[in-house]
Each structure stands twice: as structure tokens, then as C-alpha cells.
Amino acid sequence: MRPRVGSERGASIIMVGMALFVLFGTAAIAVDIGALWLDRSADQKITDSAAAAGVLDAVTKDGQAACETALSYVAVNSDEIGSIDFTGCASFPTVCSSATHTHTVNSGRYTITVTYPVLDGDPLMTSGIVGAAAQALDPTDGIPCERVGVEMSATRESLFAQLLGSDQGTTSVHTVATASIDDSDPPINLLVLDRTGCQAIWVQGGGGIIVDAVIAVDDDGNPTGLAPGIIAADSDGSAGCTSNGVIDLDGSNSTLRADGPTCPEQSGTHSVSSYTAGEGCGRIPTYAPGTPGCDPVVNVPACTPGSGGANQPAPVPTALARRLTRAPVDHRYNCRGDYTAPPSGTNWATPALTGNQSIPGCGEGTPDHIYDLIQTVGENGPVGGFTAWNGTLGYSCDLASGDPAITETRDIYIDCPSFTVRNNVRIVGNVVFGGDVMVTSSGHLNIDNSLGSPGWVVFRDGLLSKGGSAHLTFNYTTVYMSRTSQVAMAAGAGTLTWVAPDSDGFDDLALWSDSPLIQSWAGQAGLTMEGVFFMPFARVDYSGTSGQNQTNAQWIAHSLTARGGGNLVVRPAVDRSVPTGLLVTTLIR
């Protein structure tokens, strides 16, 4: 029998074959391309997390730490990467320069590359979208030394697409993160930088430190309300701070208080029941373990209260997320890639430590006004363009109470090993002091640059002392003090007026001191302080008189002691301080 024409036998195999081809083709698209998209999506989140974590180290530590941290976050967030070899990170610079560094590691099907710094022209600064045009630089992109890039490539073997001739697919994503101080955060009113010590903030003998609420402003400088006043201690308390904590109150009537907007915790929580609304509503963060709280047993080494636990800071200290460091101040006034340690015995030191120092994120193209000032003035002898007080002008180095008032409008070099003022001396211009300066009796030393352009004063060496009844004025003038200089103010009926410039490179900087010596400040009948007072190596010793002294200043010191019967009230104006707020990371590419 002849087979019938049009028999359907075997047709199913053709149909199934065709169906399978379509099925596998569809599966190839759905599964393999879907898997690549999944890789891309997951990897993007991993690089986001890694770059954000790494850049915080780039601006607070160095490139090596940034690389290691970024890679460790890649490992944590990836299901497939168990551990990563960090050794290549050692090639990253401790001082950022215009040379970019990369470290690439291969792990399984992944290739991860960390880049620091990320230069403006780096391919990473283009968009992450394939084929997209280069993204124009934006001011929010920051500078290369404040950027970390993480790139991740993944190769995936095809499951179905192999049948169509595609063995594997590759995806590549990258993230560039930048870190900057959050300008919208209120400044820290009082910051102590001691990294390990006990009694970094030490209030004793009825002394008091009070920080006021800060008037917050928006981007246009318009007030938006009150922000918490902040007292911050960077010490980790590792110097054995069990009996005396990083924050230490002694006695029954010492005060450490940060005020802020009215807070619900304010009533009933604090040991001092007479506080009014807003008092104790600020923040007192410290890096030391043991926070939050100030129990003499539970909260050491962060805090030890006075009077057996009854006298506590208000509010009690809380935990800092990371070290705060002096970097914001350096970034603004003296952002140098590398501070060479000075020769032994010299006065100039920035900072006064052995070994070369670097501030992360500083390098080429960043301001170094303090360094320039030191180079201009020199270490000893006459100063170019300055008139010598004693040698040229013929004024005495020891001015008596009955001497006539002196006014000079010029740049002056005080060529006196010891310069004593008991009368009225007013200088309009820049001044370099070569030795000790004493303002005593009812004398008044007035460096007044309030009318013309801002000025500066340099203390090459020695003591700046002021008697209780004397008057000292630095008006719109920045003061630089060397490693061997020291402030010694006596409390009394005199006045102290110290106002920072409001323009030019030293805008808002009232004092930059490289001295590690104790700097003594005291309450005055009239106290006007405005701007940033920066003493990163010195313990500030504030002894009050009765009453409260208002200062519109921001204090940044190594450590602080407050004693005596008065309170120092610290209340910086937002526009007259260095933003020491939190670092915020921004993912820019």
C-alpha cells in the first residue's frame, strides 16, 4: 500500500523542533539577558555602597584606607565574592596628588577596580550609561582628591544563548562618590580634637561651658530656626580613662550644657531641675565607647560625672559616628598635601609633630594661606616692607601708663624681646611680634583693621599676656601664633575684643595657633569674640569670673578645662564659622 500523500507522521518532531528553537531563543533572551540585567542592577548597588564607604576614608584617612574599605564593602555586599586581597591597596598614596592610582582585583567572574583620586578627565567621570555623552563637571563634583571610584565588571556564562552562539555576556558598572562637609549642618560650637586622652573636656570648680543653640540658615543665608548647639569630643578614651572620662565633671556645681530648640527630653531627664526650655537640648557627641550616658560605671570611658553621679552634662553624651578631625579647618585655610616636619628647635610647625603630616583631600590647587603667611614673615629678623617699632620708629619697648597714646598706620615689626604696653597703642596694619607681649595696668593694645582691608598679626615667639584691667583688641585681624607662643589672659574688669576678618583668605579666622602650650583664657568685663579660634595642639584653660561671657566664636582646641565661677557661653554665627558638620557622601557618577 502506498503511503498516503500528506501523512502527518514525523510532523510533530518538526513542530517540536521549531517550538524548541523558539522556546530556547525566547529563554535565551529572557534568562540570559535578564541575568545580565540582574548582574548590572546588583553590581551597581554594590559599587554605590563601596564607593560611599571608601570616600569617607579618602577624606579622613588616606588612599590606602579608602581602597581597603571600598573593597571590603564589595565583599560584604556580594553573594559570590568571599574575601578580597587588599595588598595592592598599599600602592595608594598617603598624600593625594594629581597622579591617579588604581587597584584591580579578580575574584571569580568579577573584576573590581578602585580608583583614587578620580581626575576630572577620568573615564569614570563619564556617565555610567553605555554610549552616553561625557557628563559635564559640576561644582558638586568636588575635587579629585575627594572622589573615589569603584568599577565592577561581571562575566556570566550563557545558559541558553550558547545555542545561539553567545557563550557569555559581560556587564560593567561604576560609581564615583565624593564626600564633603554638609554645609547645611550647624557648626560645632566647641570641638576638642584630642584623639585618645582623658578629660578632653574637664569642667571643675564651679566652672561652666555652655553652648547656645545655633541659628540655622538655608542656602541663601536666611534664618530657618534654631539648630542644636554641639559640644564634640573626638577622643576615643583609650588612654585609660576609667576614673576620669573623656568628658569629666568634677564637684557639684560644674556645668557642661548644650542648648537647642525645645526638646521633649528636656524636663525631668537632667540633674539640674531649674533648666528652662531649650536648655540641655543640644548635643554632646564623643567618639569614646560607653556612650550614651554619663554613669560613672556604665558609661566610662566616655563620661564621668561630678558629685558621685549627681552632676551630669546636659544632655548626656552620645556616640560620634566617626572622628571629626581638624581637616575642615585645614581645608579652608591651609590645605597642604604634605606638611614637612620642622627642623628641631625652630618655631614654625604646622602641625607641631614629628614626621611629615598630611591632611587627606589636600593637594595641588588647594589653599595654603597659613603656609604662605609663615613664608612671608620668616622666622626671625626684620620683615620685608615692615617698619621696626624700636629701631626705626624709636618707640620704647616698655611703655608707661603716662606715655602719650600712639597711633600708627603701617605694617610694623615689633623688634622687642619683651614689649609692654601700659598706655594706649593703636596700630592699623599688619604686625609681627618678635617676643613677649604684655598689656598691663589699664593699657590698651589695639590692632584695628576694621576700616580698611583685613589684617593679620604674627607671634613668632613668647607670651601674649593681658592683665585683668587691661584692654586688648584685634579687630578684623587674624592672629597666627607659633609653636612657642602662649596666650595668658587674666580675668578682671578689662576688655577683650577679638574679631576675625570678614573677607579674603582668612575670612572668619580669628586665631590659628600651632602651640602645644596651655592657652589661658579668662572672663572679662567686656568680651567680644567672633570667628574661629583654632588651637589644635593646645589645652585651653578657661577660668571665668562670675556671670556669663558671651562669645560669638567657634572654639576648636586639643582639649579644654573650664574652672572658676563663671560660664563661657559659646555661640558661633553660622556665617562666621567653619562648617564642621558631618561628612556627606554624594554619588556623582
Binding site for other proteins (CB under 8 A): 12, 15-16, 19, 23, 27, 30-31, 34, 38, 41-42, 45-46, 48-49, 52-53, 56, 69, 72-73, 75-77, 83, 285, 289, 292, 318-322, 582-585
Q: Measured between alpha carbons, how far is 237 from 207 in angstroms, rounded to an integer? A: 22
- Residue 239 Cβ vs other proteins, minimum distance, rounded to whole Å: 16
Measured torsion, CA atoms of residues 178, 181, 183, 186, in degrees rounded to the nearest 10? 150
Return the CA Rg of the chain. Answer: 31
- Residue 451 Cβ vs other proteins, minimum distance, rounded to whole Å: 43
| Closer residue to other proteins (CB): 30 or 493 | 30
How many other C-beta atoms lie within 10 A of the C-beta of residue 127?
Answer: 12
- Residue 381 Cβ vs other proteins, minimum distance, rounded to whole Å: 48
| Closer residue to other proteins (CB): 30 or 310 | 30
| Closer residue to other proteins (CB): 52 or 557 | 52
**Which residue matches cell numbers 577624606?**
59
- Residue 267 Cβ vs other proteins, minimum distance, rounded to whole Å: 18
| Closer residue to other proteins (CB): 324 or 414 | 324
Read off φ and ψ for residue 75, nearest 5 degrees.
-65, -40
Contact yes or no for 557/580 (Cβ under 8 A): no
Indicate the helix (H) or strand (E) that contains 60.
Answer: helix 34-60
- Residue 357 Cβ vs other proteins, minimum distance, rounded to whole Å: 23
- Residue 441 Cβ vs other proteins, minimum distance, rounded to whole Å: 48
- Residue 232 Cβ vs other proteins, minimum distance, rounded to whole Å: 9
DSSP bridge pairs for 427 = 408, 447
DSSP result, 538-579: EEEEEEE-SSEEEEEEEEEEEEEEEEES-EEEE---GGGS--
- Residue 126 Cβ vs other proteins, minimum distance, rounded to whole Å: 23
The reply to whether omega before 144 is within 30° of 0 (cis) is no
| Closer residue to other proteins (CB): 76 or 137 | 76
| Closer residue to other proteins (CB): 101 or 283 | 283
| Closer residue to other proteins (CB): 53 or 294 | 53
- Residue 53 Cβ vs other proteins, minimum distance, rounded to whole Å: 4
| Closer residue to other proteins (CB): 23 or 493 | 23
Q: Measured between alpha carbons, how far is 327 from 234 in angstroms, rounded to an integer? A: 13
- Residue 183 Cβ vs other proteins, minimum distance, rounded to whole Å: 15
Q: Measured between alpha carbons, how far is 213 from 189 in angstroms, rounded to an integer? A: 9
Whole-number Cα distances in Å, 275 to 262, 264, 266: 11, 13, 8
Whole-number Cα distances in Å, 38 to 128, 160, 223, 242, 496: 16, 16, 46, 52, 66
| Closer residue to other proteins (CB): 159 or 310 | 159
- Residue 519 Cβ vs other proteins, minimum distance, rounded to whole Å: 28
| Closer residue to other proteins (CB): 27 or 353 | 27
Q: Measured between alpha carbons, how far is 520 from 518 in angstroms, rounded to an integer? A: 6
> Which SS3 state, helix, strand or coil, does residue 11 take?
helix
E strands, 59-167, in order: 101-107, 110-116, 147-157
How many other C-beta atoms lie within 10 A of the C-beta of residue 1?
Answer: 3
- Residue 535 Cβ vs other proteins, minimum distance, rounded to whole Å: 24
Closest of 267, 269, 320 to residue 292, by C-alpha: 320
Closest of 533, 476, 480 to residue 499, by C-alpha: 476
DSSP result, 472-529: EEEESEEEEE-TTEEEEEPPEEEEEEEE--SSSTTTTEEEEE---S-EEEE-EEEEEE
E strands, 306-430, in order: 318-319, 387-388, 406-409, 412-414, 418-421, 424-428
DSSP bridge pairs for 473 = 446, 497
| Closer residue to other proteins (CB): 45 or 410 | 45
**Which residue matches cell numbers 565592577?**
152
Maximum Cα interatomic distance, the chain, rounded to a whole number of Å: 145
- Residue 19 Cβ vs other proteins, minimum distance, rounded to whole Å: 7
**Nine-digit cell string for 496:** 577683650
| Closer residue to other proteins (CB): 272 or 582 | 582
| Closer residue to other proteins (CB): 289 or 468 | 289
| Closer residue to other proteins (CB): 425 or 583 | 583
- Residue 312 Cβ vs other proteins, minimum distance, rounded to whole Å: 17
